[in-house]
């Protein structure tokens, strides 16, 4: 196992195309870090720089205290699991898992021992004589992970390894990866665009946006105190409701049309007086028929024990997540106007309208 650190890491392609803008982060020994963000945000590029598959324009990446900027991939003691399984179709499971050790000239007994140990961890022991075409998608992905495990690397790199699996298999494989990390404790960097994967797997997560790390923190920290409008709108399903408002000197909250909203002044920090800000409320932290703002109902999604109510306040879309069961709430009529606001338990979120950054309470 090893530590991993980034110091002002940047990446610029020819033509002055900057894709990574100064990443700084320290990963502790044995920590599981998830890098999450939309397509094109630079997360895979950052991982490829750790692997040595992309050059570093400036800054330093260190593994176990050793700067690896100039080292070849084979010299970095890392193992990578890709989005596509990249298995050799003519080789058996055993041969696929053993191949990396074989070309490094490990003796046969050591290869057998390592493959048997990894196969036991991943429940592949009965499949070692099969070829990839005889395996399911989940089994193939486990073989790809097994090929990385036998290396016994300092750092595991996972580049969207579950993207090719169906929804049910993704849930199963997330559990497998969690169990794998619990058993091995190897320092791991995991890239995904799926916020559910990020929230369920990460010990800490890095939310990337246009080559910048918008926020680094535990899943709970990122969910409960998003550092920016981007993080608030990306993390959470459905994402946080973001409503442009104006606060007067009495901390009365008014919408963009100047209409007063029923938001208790005690919920509004004094520092927000006479400012234009963005008010954030998570769908699951809102209550129907509570003081807040009027919504015109556009759609209701019934999800078994709960419902998603999609509405609009002026030009701003708003979503509530609330239980099904109260007669007056179910079913709501499309076009009906209802009142919705804070559940009285969870704090409101406030963001600077100009910068998009969080305003601390």
Please report the DSSP string for 189-213 in residue order.
EEEES-HHHHHHH-SEEEEEETTEE
CATH number of the 4-225 domain: 3.40.50.300
pTM of the model: 0.89
What's the whole-number average pLDDT of the chain? 91
CA distance 248 to 273: 5
Tokens of 249: 């000197």
Give me the pLDDT at residue 330, please. 59
For residue range 155-199, list pLDDT tens digits in order. 999 998 888 778 888 888 888 889 889 988 999 999 999 999 999
Higher pLDDT, 313 or 333: 313
Higher pLDDT, 228 or 74: 228
Report the share of the chain in percent with pLDDT over 70.
98
Strand 286-302 and strand 275-281: the pairing is: unpaired
Q: How many CB atoms lie within 10 A of CB 153?
A: 19
Q: Is the pLDDT of residue 137 over 70?
A: yes
Work out the pLDDT band at 53, boundaries 50, 70, 90.
Answer: very high
Domains of the chain, by residue range, sit at: 4-225, 238-352
Higher pLDDT, 328 or 178: 178
Q: Is the pLDDT of residue 327 over 60?
A: no
Give me the pLDDT at residue 58, please. 96
Q: How many CB atoms lie within 10 A of CB 227?
A: 19
Region 14-23: mean pLDDT is 94
Give me the pLDDT at residue 306, please. 87
Higher pLDDT, 29 or 84: 29
Work out the pLDDT band at 298, boundaries 50, 70, 90.
Answer: very high
Tokens of 218: 């535990």
Q: Is the pLDDT of residue 326 over 80?
A: no
For residue range 304-323, list pLDDT tens digits in order. 888 899 999 999 999 999 88
Give me the pLDDT at residue 328, please. 55
Lowest pLDDT segment from 29-38, 206-215, 285-294? 285-294
**Nearest CA to 340 among 283, 292, 305?**
292
For residue range 220-251, list pLDDT tens digits in order. 999 999 999 999 999 998 999 999 999 998 88
For residue range 101-118, list pLDDT tens digits in order. 998 889 999 999 999 999
Lowest pLDDT segment from 68-72, 75-79, 159-163, 194-198? 159-163
What's the topology of domain 238-352?
A: OB fold (Dihydrolipoamide Acetyltransferase, E2P) (2.40.50)
Contact 189, 4 (CB under 8 A): yes
CA distance 40 to 123: 35
Work out the pLDDT band at 74, boundaries 50, 70, 90.
Answer: confident
Q: Is the pLDDT of residue 278 over 70?
A: yes
Region 77-83: mean pLDDT is 88
């Amino acid at each position: 196992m090893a530590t991993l650190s980034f110091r002002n890491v940047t990446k610029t392609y020819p033509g002055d195309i900057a894709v990574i803008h100064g990443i700084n982060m320290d990963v502790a020994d044995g920590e599981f870090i998830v890098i999450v963000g939309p397509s094109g945000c630079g997360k895979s590029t950052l991982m490829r720089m750790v692997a040595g598959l992309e050059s570093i324009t400036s800054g330093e990446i260190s593994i176990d205290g050793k700067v690896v900027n100039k080292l070849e991939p084979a010299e970095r003691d890392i193992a990578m699991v890709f989005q596509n399984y990249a298995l050799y179709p003519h080789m058996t499971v055993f041969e696929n898992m053993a191949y990396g050790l074989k070309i490094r000239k490990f003796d046969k007994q050591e290869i057998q021992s390592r493959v048997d140990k990894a196969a036991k961890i991943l429940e592949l022991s009965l499949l070692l004589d099969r070829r990839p075409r005889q395996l399911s998608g989940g089994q193939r992905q486990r073989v790809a992970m097994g090929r990385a495990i036998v290396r016994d690397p300092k750092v595991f790199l996972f580049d969207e390894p579950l993207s090719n699996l169906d929804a049910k298999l993704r849930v199963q494989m997330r559990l497998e990866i969690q169990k794998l990390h619990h058993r091995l404790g190897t320092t791991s960097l995991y890239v995904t665009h799926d916020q559910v994967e990020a929230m369920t797997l990460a010990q800490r997560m890095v939310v990337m946006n246009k080559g910048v790390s918008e926020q680094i923190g535990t899943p709970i920290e990122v969910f409960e105190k998003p550092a920016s409008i981007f993080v608030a709108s990306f993390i959470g399903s459905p994402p946080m409701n973001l409503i442009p408002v104006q606060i007067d000197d009495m901390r009365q909250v008014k919408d963009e049309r100047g209409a007063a909203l029923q938001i208790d002044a005690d919920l509004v920090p004094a520092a927000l007086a006479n400012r234009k800000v963005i008010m954030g409320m998570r769908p699951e932290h809102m209550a129907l028929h509570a003081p807040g703002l009027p919504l015109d109902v556009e759609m209701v999604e019934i999800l078994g024990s709960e419902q998603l109510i999609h509405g609009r306040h002026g030009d701003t879309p708003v979503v509530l997540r609330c239980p099904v069961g109260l007669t007056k709430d179910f079913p709501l009529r499309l076009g009906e106007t209802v009142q919705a606001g804070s559940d009285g338990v969870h704090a409101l979120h406030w963001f600077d309208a100009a910068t998009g950054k969080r305003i601390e309470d």
